[in-house]
Amino acid sequence: MKKLLVELGNRSYPIYIGSGLLNQSELYTQHIKAKQVVVVTNTTIAPLYLNTILKNLQSFDVETVILPDGEQFKTLEYVTHIFDKLLASKFSRNATLIALGGGVIGDMGGFAAACYQRGIAFLQIPTTLLAQVDSSVGGKTGVNHPLGKNMIGAFYQPQCVIADADVLDTLDDRQLSAGLAEVIKYGLIRDFEFFEWLENNINALLLRDKQALSFAIERSCLNKAWIVAEDETETGIRATLNLGHTFGHAIETGAGYGTYLHGEAVAIGTCQAADLSRRKGWLNDADVERIIELFKKCNLPTYPPEHIDSDRFLELMAVDKKNVDGQIRLILLTKIGAATLPIDIDRKLLEQTLKTYGRK
């Protein structure tokens, strides 16, 4: 097992990465301070992993909340189901919430933990590749609003993250690929050596080679932990983690939540950001091709849907947390392995990308 640390002073916490971790009860019980525990998960993950968790929590008073599965349920309404259970069970401020699932459950569970009685402890047990390499680390929690993705939320750090690579055995290929989009992101924004490693090892990852997967999870979490420690609340460098996400969120919202997986939308958005970086003169054609090729090898989409035209993109991209005074701001690449902070984008250049990249 590998143990990394997210260094945030008295809110620092470990990320455990390895195999068979769900059965190591002390890993999570050491982070639970009192008897009351609520496990939040969904209808897909519960039959797979909930019993394992419950077996290890026999000395606690445990309640469970099993939410419907899907991005479309990542709403305030469904977070309220968690509050309902906590209140009906008379859970107090020293209760602990365990989020067992992918990024949707992690974001919702974390947000519920941040709000319930102004904050209870929570543990992240991420079960998708995307959640293990990105969403479970760094304390971004929240829900979607019909007008924008992740628009309601809070920064709230967990007590620990337990990333058990074995749970990825039950993840379908499409979800695994979606997770790889966020893995590639770390190579693109700050770790060229990792980008090259990914180019050389992508087949092993797609074949779920455990050693390759564990390395990719660890290297991604190292990158993420470093960034979060530098800039917890995204006043600077943390924004680079949003490479491709403004385009991607527009695709997710525009196509209807759940149509594109988050990682798929990010893959397309990253290709759009690469195209725009080329227009700025920072990447050359070969760089852009290289990036697109790696996403394609992961079986990820690389072109935006036809039905979201340039005007609709602009409308959707106007709702973004990085924007200032209505000005769209984006993360671009200055080379493979280095990203800008959010920069104001010349509208004409952006429209060129929106109108021509991946359009017939």
Structure tokens at 341: 């902070």
Q: Which is nearer to ligand GLY, 65 or 105 (CB)?
A: 105
Stretch that binds ligand GLY, among 33-41, 83-91, 134-142, 317-325 (CB under 6 A): 134-142
CA–centroid distance for 36 within its chain:
28
Eight-state DSSP code of residue 119: -
Torsion 109-107-137-113 (CA) sign = negative
Could you tell which of ligand NAD, ligand GLY, none binds residue 308, using a CB distance below 5 to 8 A set by kind? none
Q: Which of 113, 241, 273, 345 binds ligand GLY (CB under 6 A)?
A: 241
Q: Which stretch binds ligand NAD (CB under 6 A): 50-58, 116-124, 163-171, 349-357?
A: 163-171
d(CA 201, CA 210): 12
Contact status, residue 19 vs residue 164, Cβ threshold 8 Å: yes
Binders of ligand NAD among residues 239 to 268 (CB under 6 A) are 261-263
| Residue 322 found at the interface with ligand GLY (CB under 6 A) | no
Q: Determine if 130 is a binding residue for ligand NAD (CB under 6 A).
A: yes
User: Among residues 6, 17, 104, 184, which is the contact residue for ligand NAD, using CB under 6 A?
Assistant: 104
Going 150 to 151 to 155 to 156, the CA torsion angle's sign is negative
Q: How far apart are CA 189 and CA 106, in angstroms?
A: 24
Q: How far is CA 192 from CA 106, 184, 344, in A?
A: 29, 10, 25
Alpha carbons 285 and 205: distance in angstroms, whole number = 27
How far is residue 5's CA from residue 156's CA, in Å, rounded to a whole number?
A: 16
CA distance 250 to 2: 36
Residue 238 interacting entry, from ligand NAD, ligand GLY, none, C-beta within 5 to 8 Å by type: ligand GLY
- 234 catalytically annotated: yes
Among the listed ranges 134-142, 187-195, 276-284, 317-325, the one in contact with ligand NAD (CB under 6 A) is: 134-142
Which residues bind to ligand GLY, rule: CB under 6 A? Answer: 134, 138, 140, 238, 241
Which residues bind to ligand NAD, rule: CB under 6 A? Answer: 42, 44-45, 48, 69, 71, 74, 101-105, 107, 127-128, 130-131, 134-135, 138, 140, 150, 167, 170-171, 175, 178, 261-263
